[in-house]
Structure 1
């Protein structure tokens, strides 16, 4: 039912004017496919906003990731903009929020709401499933919130995202500790896939309020990434039960 309404919304909303901010990166066919199920994109948010606000989800993530005024933060898979509208005042007028997504209906709705709110430090960005299409060396921190399990080509996305990160850039992944077909990612599998692309784990924290865990990684310098063809998928028996 949720998927039906998402499709209906995409048919009734005008096409988004959001555009990529960078030329295409390395194409998806150069990367191995993940050896696990990939969940469908079914909705622009994963839980009730009041419950998430009650748990101070964004505040927890921002503090653990040390997101500060003046920084550029990319919300990869921004959906309905739950993080976008809460990160905008946190980074302030000298900072920037890049609200990136691949779903036209979500992008159109985000653009409309950002304009209505007058958020001059937010830019809505159209990406690709394997490439966020963000400018090289432009991002201090990136968040991927309850969507990692929906990424059909995680190695390509991570490889291309690394090029957009500034030196020491932090990537924070919020997800549930569940198999991908149940809309989560087991931490062991997440660690393996990030390590395969050269990301270094900084911390793994169970967030308060039942909103999942936050895994923070440092992105590799572009020249320290492995060649795309050298990246091997991680094999995780726990994800196979839904094949």
Structure 2
């Protein structure tokens, strides 16, 4: 039996109102992100493009340690996401050699222009630059053995959209490297358990996690696991309830 006309009208009006409310709730998000769940966490403002001076970082052996842990060698193809002033870009270029490639990505055009000048000045013929978006790294498919995100993950406002669009860029056996600090996102860090949860939600499996003073935080390495989920099927993480799960952690 069909519902009374006035009841049907009331139900339709209620659904329309709910739909409008959902649209209004998402007006602060890019249209390209709205099919993905919202990240229920604060996000750090972008205050700079370098986490410390290069001389100091080299004195600590930061880049060399991270590249060693990530098994970067001659012929490796790497994407440096949030490349900034190019601290990792130039060191990766030297490590991968003429047979390797480094793609430096950033969302700031001015930063990329300065980095481009540096790449030309240092004659880094194996480096190219690309402009990304906040919810899309805009990387070519099946192109990278390693993707680096160093001291920048906490600035990603749409992690589910970003990570979902990142997946196709990895070659078979490729891995994602995240270096960050263990502190709240608004304080320019990312609690490891929350990072693990967000990565796992989009189909990345943690394979290594190490805390090191040389990198002023932790090193996390991920690989793909399973198929890429549908955007509507991604379960968002809630920071207070995120659990570390079964993870082997090495503190040195």
Same fold at TM > 0.5: yes
Is the 8 Å Cα contact of residues 179 and 215 (structure 2) preserved in structure 1?
no
Within a 5 Å distance, the mapping from 1:66-81 to structure 2 comes to 66-81=71-86
Is the 8 Å Cα contact of residues 62 and 215 (structure 2) preserved in structure 1?
no
| Aligned counterpart for 1:233 among listed residues 229, 232, 236 | 236
Q: State yes or no: 1:190 paired with 2:195.
A: yes
Is the 8 Å Cα contact of residues 162 and 220 (structure 1) preserved in structure 2?
no
SS at match of 1:131: coil
Q: For residues 210 and 125 of structure 1, do their structure 2 counterparts lie closer, same or farther at Cα, with a shift above 3 Å needed? A: closer
Segments of 4+ in structure 1 off by > 6 A? none
Q: Partners of 2:33 and 2:168 in 1: how far apart?
A: 15
Is the 8 Å Cα contact of residues 119 and 127 (structure 2) preserved in structure 1?
yes
Q: State yes or no: 1:136 paired with 2:141.
A: yes
| Aligned counterpart for 1:164 among listed residues 157, 165, 169 | 169
Q: Which residue of 1 aligns with 2:208?
A: 203
Within a 5 Å distance, the mapping from 1:112-131 to structure 2 comes to 112-131=117-136
Q: For residues 63 and 182 of structure 1, do their structure 2 counterparts lie closer, same or farther at Cα, with a shift above 3 Å needed? A: same
Q: Partners of 2:205 and 2:38 in 1: how far apart?
A: 21
Q: Which residue of 1 aligns with 2:25?
A: none
Q: For residues 230 and 158 of structure 1, do their structure 2 counterparts lie closer, same or farther at Cα, with a shift above 3 Å needed? A: same
SS at match of 1:209: helix
SS at match of 1:203: strand
SS at match of 2:49: coil
Within a 5 Å distance, the mapping from 1:23-34 to structure 2 comes to 27-34=32-39
- CA displacement, residues 38-80 of structure 1 (integer Å, 9 cap, x when unaligned): 1111101011222211111111111111112101100001011
Q: Partners of 1:170 and 1:35 in 2: how far apart?
A: 26
Q: TM-score, normalised by structure 2?
A: 0.81
Q: What is the CA-CA distance between 1:238 and the residue it aligns to?
A: 8.8
Q: What is the CA-CA distance between 1:220 and the residue it aligns to?
A: 4.1
Q: Which moved more, 1:202-211 or 1:34-43?
A: 202-211
Q: Which residue of 1 aligns with 2:96?
A: 91
- CA displacement, residues 101-127 of structure 1 (integer Å, 9 cap, x when unaligned): 001111111111111111100001111
Q: Tell me which of the two structures has the higher relative contact order, counting C-alpha pairs closer than 8 angstroms and 6 or more residues apart.
A: 1
Q: Which moved more, 1:177-186 or 1:227-236?
A: 227-236
- Structure 2 residue runs without a partner (length 5+): 1-30, 243-252
Q: Which residue of 1 aligns with 2:116?
A: 111
Q: For residues 127 and 220 of structure 1, do their structure 2 counterparts lie closer, same or farther at Cα, with a shift above 3 Å needed? A: farther
- Structure 1 residue runs without a partner (length 5+): 1-25
Q: Partners of 1:165 and 1:135 in 2: how far apart?
A: 9
Please tell me whether Structure 1 or Structure 2 has the larger radius of gyration of its CA atoms: 2
